[in-house]
Amino acid sequence: MQALLSFDQAPPFAAPARFFVTAPLFAMLAGALILSTGPELFVSRWTAAALATTHLLSLGFLSQVMIGAMMQILPVVAGANLSRPLAVARMVHLTLVCGTLLLVLGFLTFNRLAFTSAAWTLGVGLATFVGTAGRALFKVSSNNPTIDGLKLSLLGLIGTVVLGLLLALSLSESWPLPLPQLTALHFGWGVIGWGFSLLLAVALVVVPMFQLTPAYPKWLAQTFCPLSLLLLVLQTIANLAGWSTVADVLASSLALGVALFAMETFRLQRRSARARFDASQQFWRLAMVCMLAACVLWLGLLWLPMLADQPIGPMLCGVLIFVGGFMSVMSGMLYKIVPFLVWLHLQNLCRAGEMAPNMNKVIGAKQIEWQLRVHLGALAFLLAAALSPSWFAYPAGAALLVANGGLLHNMLSALLFYRRHAARLMAAREDGASR
Amino acid sequence: MSGADADIFIDARGLEPPEPMVLTLEALDRLAAGQTLLVLLPREPYPLYRTLQINGFIWETRFRDDGAVEVLINHQSL
């Protein structure tokens, strides 16, 4: 077997792995925060604990996974090599971890210094990531929708970060800015501009590749990412200009776009060549169900005043988007990406004629299926807690903690599998060389 | 060049990773000087290019109208 990768070009396994191991820790912290706060957290999305939990999940879990995955995906899918990938990964990871913790501390204590420090730490870390990834990506000619989508998702991340920094600095410096309006824009840019754009760009490759389905149709692949970002920009302008009906129509179009993507993914999954869905496919299916439900609810909140007046709606929508949608799909992707990377890096250590262990042995199928079931339980409890906090807040916190403990266990077992086999292969290499 | 003209032909469309890479690397081990390997894939295989480069192969990539990608591989010495 030939040598696979040249390590000066491909990011070493340690670059993305640190993000994948840290992500579940933040979701576990979110579970612990729900447990320590109790039903009060679910009263409104504006409570300090709810804002802290949202950021533990969105920044702590989702952005960790998204940035780690992007570092790996750029060279493999787009041929875009990051310069000094390990150094960048270390710096971005450290600032993201510290910045998220500082932001959460800011929400929980309303300490001005915490908000200012969080803003600068996250700003520097994310700017480094955007700069490095952007430089690598914009050197590559756009010959497919995934590369275009990755570029656009970086623009979405810039929008999210700028709005987030404005909000954090407003809280610390008491700037007279319209916080609810900025929060709505920050949420829209985070969910659509960064999250959905990246999901779409990556789905175009990973769904057909790992789920053995036909490709997404051209009309969707080529138009959805640019169209979503264009609608988001127009929605932002309408929102800032105070044209609320136009802004609501544009927000509804975005929700319909997400719903269409979810339905198209269902259609592709039905045509999968795999006879029995594996756990990763089940994670994707769950995510698409939740995204569809979130879109319906979102439209209801926009157009039905009786729903818009209830605090339950945004809470349910948040759980469906962050835990049901993004966390499910990221978990499903991790269970494909991590074993593949372990295999790839082990294969690179193999001598001529030697084969790395089978990719399916990296994380046991039963371990993944168990974690899927616990994740499903956590989602159900969180939705129930949004409806009836006094009954379900504590089970929801505990279930989120256990589910992500399971994900952490699975990520660590993949890492240990890699270390064990890498040590064995290195020893065999040295043994062969000394003879 | 069609699959029939190549010395070794791999149709890796519809295979789950890392199967296309495994089959290609195994074929490279068997590829004698002067022989050609044609790999048909659903997308452009960026990691494969680096593998080919560091193992002394040259390649040519063609994009088909149906969206598939053909990679034609030879030993560099030729």
Asked if the structure places residue B9 within a domain, the reply is yes
For residue range A58-88, what is the model confidence (pLDDT) as tens digits? 999 999 999 999 998 888 888 888 889 999 9
pLDDT at A384: 98
Give mean pLDDT, residues A351-360.
82
Are the beta carbons of A2 and B46 separated by less than 8 Å?
no
Which of B29, B31, B54, B62 has the highest number of chain A CBs within 10 A, making it the mutation to test binding with A?
Answer: B54
Asked if the structure places residue B43 within a domain, the reply is no
Give B 26-45 residues with CB within 8 A of chain A: 26, 28-29, 42-44
Q: What DSSP letter does each residue of A181-217 carry, written as one string?
A: HHHHHHHHIIIIIIIIHHHHHHHHHHHHHHH--PPPP
Q: Where are the alpha helices (DSSP H) in A271-311?
A: 279-303, 305-308
Beta bridge partners of residue B34, listed in sequence order: none
3-class state of residue A353 by DSSP: coil
- Residues in CB range of A292: below 8 A, 6 or more apart: A259, A262, A263
pLDDT at A7: 44
3-class state of residue A17 by DSSP: helix
For residue range A76-128, what is the model confidence (pLDDT) as tens digits? 888 888 889 999 999 999 999 999 999 999 999 999 999 999 999 999 999 99
- Buried b / exposed e along A365-383 (16+ C-beta atoms within 10 A): eebbebbbebbbbbbebbb
Which CATH architecture describes the domain A14-428?
Up-down Bundle (1.20)
pLDDT at A396: 98
Largest interatomic CA distance in chain A: 79
Q: How far apart are CA A192 and CA A255, in angstroms?
A: 9
φ, ψ of residue A215 to 5 degrees: the values are: -75, 155
Q: How far apart are CA A315 and CA A312, in angstroms?
A: 5
Residue in B with minimal Cα distance to A272: B14
Tokens 């696979």 belong to A4
Give A195→chain B minimum CA distance, Å: 24
Give chain B positions within 8 Å (CB) of A340: 17-18
Q: How far apart are CA A357 and CA A42, in angstroms?
A: 46
Q: Compute how many other C-beta atoms are within 10 angstroms of the C-beta atom of residue A330.
A: 25
Q: Please report, as a single letter, which amino acid is at residue A239.
A: N
- Residues in CB range of A129: below 8 A, 6 or more apart: A67, A88, A92, A157
Give mean pLDDT, residues B65-75.
92
Are the beta carbons of B25 and A344 separated by less than 8 Å?
no
Pick from A37-51, A267-281, A297-311: least confident: A297-311
Q: Please report, as a single letter, which amino acid is at residue A275.
A: A
Asked if the structure places residue B65 within a domain, the reply is no
Of B18, B28, B55, the CB nearest to A343: B18
Q: Give the tokens for residue A354.
A: 């030697």
Asked if the structure places residue B12 within a domain, the reply is yes
Asked if the structure places residue B21 within a domain, the reply is yes
Bond from prior residue into A16 cis (ω within 30 degrees of 0): no
- Residues in CB range of B59: below 8 A, 6 or more apart: B49, B52, B71, B72, B73, B74
Q: How far apart are CA A328 and CA A320, in angstroms?
A: 10
Of A75, A209, A353, the CB nearest to B17: A209
B4 near A CB under 8 A:
no
Would you place residue A8 in the very low, low, confident or very high pLDDT band (cuts 50, 70, 90)? Answer: very low
Phi-psi region of A178 (alpha: psi -120 to 50; beta: other; left: phi over 0): beta
Give chain A positions within 8 Å (CB) of B18: 340, 343-344, 347, 359
Number of domains in chain B: 1
Closest CA relative to residue A162, chosen from A189, A195, A199: A189
Tokens 């089940």 belong to A282
Residue in B with minimal Cα distance to A147: B44
Q: How far apart are CA A273 and CA A212, in angstroms?
A: 5
Asked if the structure places residue B51 within a domain, the reply is no
Are the beta carbons of A209 and B44 separated by less than 8 Å?
no
The pTM assigned to this predicted structure is 0.93
For residue range A200-259, what is the model confidence (pLDDT) as tens digits? 999 999 999 999 999 999 999 999 999 999 999 999 999 999 999 999 999 999 999 999
Tokens 């969910």 belong to A191
Of A1, A76, A78, the CB nearest to B25: A1
* Residue B21 structural domain: 1-38
Are the beta carbons of A210 and B17 separated by less than 8 Å?
yes
Are B48 and B78 in contact by the 8 Å Cβ rule? The answer is: no
Q: How far apart are CA A111 and CA A98, in angstroms?
A: 16
CA A302 centroid distance within chain: 25
Give mean pLDDT, residues A2-29.
80
Round to the nearest angstrom and report the end-to-end CA distance of chain B: 18
Are A257 and A233 in contact by the 8 Å Cβ rule? The answer is: no
For residue range A305-338, what is the model confidence (pLDDT) as tens digits? 888 778 899 999 999 999 999 999 999 999 999 9
Give me the long-range contacts of A380-387 (CB less than 8 A, separation at least 24): A382/A319, A382/A323, A383/A316, A383/A319, A383/A320, A383/A324, A385/A34, A385/A39, A385/A42, A386/A42, A386/A312, A386/A315, A386/A316, A386/A319, A387/A312, A387/A316
Give me the long-range contacts of A168-173 (CB less than 8 A, separation at least 24): A168/A103, A168/A106, A168/A115, A168/A116, A168/A118, A168/A119, A168/A122, A169/A115, A169/A116, A169/A119, A171/A106, A171/A110, A171/A112, A171/A115, A172/A106, A172/A112, A172/A113, A172/A114, A172/A115, A172/A116, A172/A119, A173/A112, A173/A116
Give B69→chain A minimum CA distance, Å: 12
